[in-house]
Amino acid sequence: MRKKNILGTLSLVFIGIVFGAVLVSGFGFVRPSYGDVKIGADNPPVAQLNADAAAFNNAFVQVAEKVTPSIVQIEVVSSVKSPNKLQDQFHFFFPFKDDSPREQQGGGSGIIISEDGYILTNNHVVENAKSVTVNLHDKREFEATVVGTDPSTDLAVIKIDAKKLPLAYLGDSDKIKVGQWVMAIGNPLALSSTVTAGIISATHRDIRIISEQYRIENFIQTDAAINPGNSGGALVDLNGGVIGVNSAIATNGYSQNYIGYGFAIPINMAKSVASDLIANGKVSRGYIGVEIDNVTPQLAKAIGLDEPKGVLIQKIVKDGAAAKEDVKEGDVILKVDEKEVNQPNELQSYIATKRAGTSVRLTIFRDEKKIERYVTLKSRDEAGDDKTIKTALKDKKGKDVDAREVNFESIGMKVRNLNDDEMKELNVDSGVIISDVKQFGKAFNQSLQQGLVIVSADRKTINSVSELQSIINNKKGKAVLLKVVDSEGNSRLVGLDIPNK
């Protein structure tokens, strides 16, 4: 009997050991209740953010809280002649929901700039609008009227009948720096009140997306995520100041969605345009009346400029503002008022903030000296426009030509004399024609192409290839300034490096 008791006791102990092993090993036969499971750690990995990190984090939170109520959602029904065809690489943020050739529905964003209902947005958002609806952050909805548009800058102002609206603070886009943090606030992909963050990636971008003849592009580039529907929304700094109006994105051409970079119109230009649109319903923009181009290293060397800076005046527009002052073809504009300009679109965007009748001070480089000239701006109706030169070439074939031809092998181009018939057809009194250009040579790299006529070199009129050859031989190891004319009569200046050999 005692032996049986011992065996029974040992059996119970063995069973207990096996049951415990099963329970601990988690074979699934016995599970603890949910109330016994401990979820998550007791304390955060970082007990408390340091003061700098907390302040940085709070800056984003505060900007989002303060600025978002001043950003509206815009719905538009527009009338178009045909479905919208966007460009392959850069796109405005205007997602159409209907491909009908007569009416299309789209959306965008806007920035409240006055308590009584004026809203800044993009021209391409409200272009050809039949109806415009505005949804505020507090869920109120209003019908809006289009006050005015400015296709040259892709800006527009609309108006709703409301009072005491939350105003956006408009900052100073001239003070922004590449690398500083920014936030994009808008309504992408129909997702209202969306906030993203990034940095300013670049400034003064000319992406050639505006199709207007008198386009003015000086975009701020950012990597803050923006998508269709962000058009007209705000790009803001960490002080909550609006520094740009989001307008376009880089895209792969298929999805038409964000792939890394977006572009915003500087707020300083937008403020000027908005003021004119509210006051007059249109923009009374001033123009200098010059055709302008970049200063290349070769051109800087040719005119004695110590580095490639400023903006080159290729041509003075007849009856333009500059034509009445001592401003000449070949001058380099270094500054306008107190602002340095080193790209054509920098000069254009600054002048775009000035009304006709305003006087500007130009700091000019001429004959290796700096001089100042004052120009009173004219309106477009009075005098042409500032524009970057675009050369359209048409090759001449099958014409009788003079046999005299010179091959400048080190430069990579051939030139020949013009006969009387060609001079008459090209409307030039002198010059030699470029008959061939070697791909990737020095001439090619300066956009010299077959069919261009070289009418002067080193500021001297060229009548024959011998004269051009003599000038180039005397410029070995230096650079020569050429003036060329295309088949449509457009002229431009080109700096060309001349090798020692």
Query: Which two three-digit tokens encode residue 4?
Result: 């049986």
Task: Please confirm, yes or no, whether 458 is among the known catalytic residues.
Answer: no
Helices (H) and strands (E) in the chain, counts: 9, 28
State the catalytic residue, choosing from 231, 456, 464, 487. Answer: 231
Residue 231 bears catalytic tag: yes
Tokens of 73: 């959602």
Question: Residue 421 is inside which H or E element, if any?
Answer: helix 420-426
- Pick the catalytic residue from 124, 173, 276, 386: 124
Distances (CA, A) of 455 to 283, 335, 370, 387, 494: 39, 29, 27, 22, 12
Q: State the Cα–Cα distance between residues 39 and 229, nearest whole angstrom.
A: 41
Q: Is 319 a catalytic residue?
A: no
3-class state of residue 292 by DSSP: strand
- Those residues whose C-beta lies under 8 Å from the C-beta of residue 491, and which sit 6 or more positions away, are 314, 315, 455, 483, 484, 485
Length of the chain: 501
CA nearest 70: which of 274, 264, 241?
241
Scanning 281-372, the segments in alpha helix (DSSP H) are 297-303, 344-351
Q: Are 406 and 469 in contact (CB under 8 A)?
A: yes
Would you tell me how many other CB atoms lie within 10 Å of the CB of residue 438? Answer: 15
Neighbours of 400 (CB within 10 A): 8
Structure tokens at 118: 């004026």
The tokens for 131 are 């109806």
Burial 451-471 (b: 16+ CB within 10 A, else e): bbbbbbbbeeebebbeebeeb
Contact 231, 122 (CB under 8 A): yes
Torsions phi, psi for 363 (to 5 deg): -95, 115
CA geometry: angle 319, 303, 384, nearest 5 deg: 15
Q: Torsions phi, psi of 172, nearest 5?
A: -125, 105
Let me know: does 205 contact 219? Beta carbons within 8 Å.
yes
Which residue in the list 78, 91, 150, 154 is annotated as catalytic?
154
| Strand (E) or helix (H) holding 444 | helix 442-445
Catalytic residues: 124, 154, 231
